[in-house]
Amino acid sequence: MKTEINKFVTEERCIDILSTLVKINTTHPNGNEMDVMKTILSFFKNYSITYHLIDHGENRGSLVITIPGKDASASVAFIGHVDTVPIGEPTEWSYPPFEAIIEGDYMYGRGTADMKGGVTCMIMTALHLLEQKITPAHDILFCFTADEEAGGMGILAIKESGYLDRVKELIVPEPSNEKIGIAEKGALWLDITVEGLPAHGSRPELGVNAVEKFVEFTDRFKAEVDTEFTHPLLGKATISVTKLEGGYKTNVIPDFAKASLDIRTLPSEKNDIVIKKANKVAKELMQELEHLSIKIKVENNRPPIETLPDHIFIKKVKRTFDELSIPVEFTGLYFYTDASQVVPDLQIPFVIIGPGDDKMAHQRDERIQISSIARVTEIYIRYVLDYS
């Protein structure tokens, strides 16, 4: 069987699929993921497959392909997104971002690492199962999602459709450098609006400086959140001011400030608790000072998630790595994935294993090692054959 896998999973096949995907522009805000979903289906034109295509409107779509197993009471799901972040200024790229240029063992282009390389692994795995007429122990779901880089409407639509209700294990092909990712930081984005009282710059005591009060709010809030504890794989929680505007003239005390906080949380402190702490600090400041208003709006709320290394699922993944003579190394991801929209509700174990370097995500001259795609595909196929 290993010989059959190696015959099928060639770098030439990886290049053909990945280059086709990269040449389709799926950058935000337009997405155009439906173009990719139809292209993915075209790879399966020679097979009779079970699939569900979700139309989100405005040429945005998601797709679920099911490989039926002997036992449909449980399933293993692969989840990968096809949307990408914008490219910025094209002239700043050394390689055209949508031409899938190859140099040596690397392919360059937007989405190569994040995460059309991982999506290629999913497609190759499904094709191999179909070509070899393999019936796995349980259903295998290949979920291709839209909008992961923003609101996650793709994975939410798939979850709400009930496709994931019987999932027992979740594999996410985000770039992990071929390491076993068992934890990811949560992302909590807060929009803060502060209203104060204007005054002449020479009489600041007569006003309420909204900019200064935002700074005070941030300092107090940071003191409430544990940013000293160090997770062995994720490091520390972080709170960053990423946008700030306020005031309109040098000699006028500003009565308005608006800012955004990007908070990356650990499994030890849930996002809902952090939100409560932010509201507590805002309430205390408003009680201390008349004419001060602080409003907090949650822009994005992706909870931190973790699978413990002694979970039976992780032990099976480790055995797969051992069987293929691949070094076992655990890692954590600082960014969020579609898993954050699924794992907390369904209470299922997950693992993040994908080709590519996560440091390449969102970068100019994004690239991926082609041989890595082949190796990760072999991991997926071997896991499905042994443990699905």
pLDDT digits (tens, 9 = 90+) for 327-380: 999 999 999 999 999 999 999 999 999 999 999 999 999 999 999 999 999 999
- Two tokens at 197? 């009282």
388 pLDDT higher than 80: no
Q: Are 190 and 260 contacting, i.e. CB atoms less than 8 angstroms apart?
A: yes
Band of pLDDT at residue 8, cut at 50, 70 and 90: confident
pLDDT per residue as tens digits for the range 231-287: 999 999 999 999 999 999 999 999 999 999 999 999 999 999 999 999 999 999 999
Q: Are 211 and 247 contacting, i.e. CB atoms less than 8 angstroms apart?
A: yes
The owner of tokens 């702490």 is 277
The predicted pLDDT at position 73 comes to 93
Domains of the chain: 2-184+304-387 (3.40.630.10), 186-302 (3.30.70.360)
Angle at 350 between CA 163 and CA 160, to 5 degrees: 25
Q: What value does the mean pLDDT take over residues 208-221?
A: 98
Cα distances (Å, whole numbers) of residue 233 to 183, 267, 314, 332: 7, 11, 15, 5
302 pLDDT higher than 80: yes
Rg (CA), the chain: 24
Q: To the nearest 10°, report the CA torsion of 219, 239, 340, 368.
A: 170
7 pLDDT higher than 90: no
pLDDT per residue as tens digits for the range 57-86: 999 999 999 999 999 899 999 999 999 999
Band of pLDDT at residue 1, cut at 50, 70 and 90: low
The predicted pLDDT at position 144 comes to 98
Determine the 3-state secondary structure of 99 from DSSP: coil
225 pLDDT higher than 90: yes
The predicted pLDDT at position 3 comes to 62
- Percent of the chain clearing pLDDT 70 (strictly above): 99
Cα distances (Å, whole numbers) of residue 315 to 169, 328, 339: 13, 11, 20
The predicted pLDDT at position 157 comes to 98
- Percent of the chain clearing pLDDT 90 (strictly above): 96
30 pLDDT higher than 60: yes
Query: In angstroms, how far is the first alpha carbon of the chain from the final one?
Result: 16
- Two tokens at 207? 């006003």
The predicted pLDDT at position 248 comes to 92
Q: What value does the mean pLDDT take over residues 51-56?
A: 98
Say what the pTM is: 0.93
Residue 187: CA count within 13 A, CB half-sphere: 20
